[in-house]
Amino acid sequence: MAIETESDLGSEDWDEILEPNAAVFNLRLREVWLYRDLLYLFTYRDIVSFYKQTILGPLWFFIQPIFTTLVYVLVFGKIAKLSSDGIPQILFYMSGVVLWNYFSECFNKTATVFRDNAALFGKVYFPRLLIPLSIVTSNLIRFAIQFGLFLALLVYFVAIGEVTPNAWALLLPLSVFVMATLGLAFGMLFSALTTKYRDLIFLLQFGVQLLMYATPVIYPMSQIPEGISGVLAWNPLAPVFELTRLGFLGSGTVSIVGLIYAATFAVVAFLISTVIFNRVERTFMDSV
């Protein structure tokens, strides 16, 4: 029987060589590009599974933000009488709801990637980063639909002269990029930690809820006392919400420094979380 040596194997023309060890800071984004067709399939799966076997189907994309906005108007606008910075309350709260829905959905669903896909990960190899990316992409489509609902409402209030959009609205892609990147980064980091520390999953919903109150979703930054606003300014989501409201509703507190900080924070967080995620995915099957 002939025994193939390492040099014999090296002479073969292989399509791809899978190696268990990689450099610590190798993000393996090239693999993600090679498997882009699989990313499309995962994204399609996420969209279809959202309303499969439901009575109202895709209408839930509209029902959720509408009812949440009406509750916020009643509780925070009419009962608590929080300021909306002169903006019609339904527009003010809907803008916050739509933006927060995108970030929180990206965060919550990415945070349980290893647990929810353990069976799939244990059967076949593909870049595990595809699953978090598909979650962000499918939620982007949902965000586009809900933001379209917000724009339809905005057109009415613009027509009657209640609000006046401005050029800051052109920076909407920056807002979406920061929210998507932060949701992806925090979710991947949380998912990596929960493979070893299972009890952290119980803190997820509680922590996201607290983060919402530390973000100008139901209140404008202009109404926050000076001492507290300095602390809340460290939240990279704050400039995003204020930027969107300033651009589309004409009222908000935005600085170029704050936007640069938010974008930089998001990119750095993504790089760090991707490194941790890629290292954990090699051995997570032993602990999940």
Q: What is the DSSP letter of 78?
A: I
Instruction: Compute the distance between CA of residue 209 and CA of residue 213 in angstroms, rounded to an integer.
Output: 7
pLDDT exceeds 90 at position 226: no
| Alpha-carbon distance values, 225 to 210, 213, 229 (Å) | 19, 15, 6
Q: Flag whether 126 is in a domain.
A: yes
Q: Flag whether 198 is in a domain.
A: yes
Q: Which residue has the higher pLDDT, 56 or 139?
A: 139
Instruction: Compute the distance between CA of residue 12 and CA of residue 21 in angstroms, rounded to an integer.
Output: 21
Instruction: Compute the distance between CA of residue 71 and CA of residue 52 in angstroms, rounded to an integer.
Output: 26
Q: Output the CA angle 107-189-99, nearest 5 degrees.
A: 20
The answer to whether the Cα torsion of 182, 183, 185, 189 is positive or negative is: positive
Q: Which residue has the higher pLDDT, 245 or 113?
A: 245
Q: Flag whether 177 is in a domain.
A: yes
Token output for 85: 């910075």
Q: What is the average pLDDT across 163-183?
A: 95
Q: What is the average pLDDT across 108-137?
A: 82
| Alpha-carbon distance values, 195 to 113, 119, 276, 284 (Å) | 10, 14, 12, 6
What is the separation of C-alpha 150 from the centre of its chain, rounded to a whole number of angstroms? Answer: 19
Tell me the pLDDT band of 176, cut-offs 50, 70 and 90.
very high
Q: Flag whether 57 is in a domain.
A: yes
pLDDT of residue 12: 60
The neighbour count for residue 59, using CB atoms within 10 Å, is 11
What are 20-35's pLDDT values in tens digits?
555 555 566 777 778 8
Tell me the pLDDT band of 76, cut-offs 50, 70 and 90.
very high
Count of residues in the chain? 288
The answer to whether the Cα torsion of 173, 178, 179, 181 is positive or negative is: positive
Neighbour-count burial of 286, counting CB atoms closer than 10 A to its CB (0-12 exposed, 13-18 middle, 19+ buried): exposed
Instruction: Compute the distance between CA of residue 228 and CA of residue 49 in angstroms, rounded to an integer.
Output: 41
Tell me the pLDDT band of 218, cut-offs 50, 70 and 90.
very high
Token output for 37: 């067709």
What share of the chain has pLDDT > 90, as a percent? 46
Whole domain around residue 271: which residue ranges? 30-286
Q: Which residue has the higher pLDDT, 201 or 171?
A: 171
Give the number of domains in the chain: 1
pLDDT of residue 54: 63
Q: Flag whether 276 is in a domain.
A: yes
Q: Flag whether 10 is in a domain.
A: no
Contact 78, 213 (CB under 8 A): no
Q: What is the mean pLDDT of the chain?
A: 84
Tell me the pLDDT band of 5, cut-offs 50, 70 and 90.
very low
pLDDT of residue 2: 46
pLDDT exceeds 50 at position 1: no
The neighbour count for residue 13, using CB atoms within 10 Å, is 4
Q: Flag whether 14 is in a domain.
A: no
Q: Flag whether 25 is in a domain.
A: no
